[in-house]
Amino acid sequence: MSLDLSPLAPKPKRDAGFTLLELLIVVSLVGILSAIAIQNVSLYRARSIDASMRSDLRNAAIAMESYYGEFFSYPTSTSALLLIGYRNTSGVTLTINVTSPSTYLLTAVRPAGTQSRFRFDSATGLIY
């Protein structure tokens, strides 16, 4: 039995599989898509940290007013807010600054947000 090597002879089938070029293209596309996804995930994470700080400020402001309604003065420490039922988010540090008998300033700090801190001013009622 001899092999016919003429140009019209059917060529033997190659094993099915990917070429090196196809694999390089797929790996590069996966890398580009993952780089885009990582950026979006970090942005969403920073926004969620901001939301937790703002939420803690709103809850602390409600607790401050509840404390005032019960004791007729604003508390100067966060431990006093625990008596009212205030619970902060883990990682968020809250500070209280009573600026006058009728106003206060709350500051929430947590790293890795879009801002390092947010403040609540009782005189304006705004979080900035």
Residue 4 scores a pLDDT above 60: no
Q: Is 40 left (phi over 0), alpha (psi -120 to 50) or beta?
A: alpha
Whether the model pTM is above 0.85: no
Q: Is the pLDDT of residue 10 over 80?
A: no
Domain ranges of the chain: 20-127
Q: How far apart are CA 87 and CA 53, in angstroms?
A: 12
Give residue-wise pLDDT tens across range 75-112.
Answer: 999 999 988 899 999 999 999 999 999 999 999 999 98
Eight-state DSSP code of residue 89: P
Place 16 in a pLDDT band, splitting at 50, 70 and 90. confident
Nearest CA to 104 among 75, 67, 82, 78? 75
Question: pLDDT tens digits, residue range 57-70?
Answer: 999 999 999 999 99
19-59 tens-digit pLDDT: 899 999 999 999 999 999 888 898 999 999 999 999 999 99
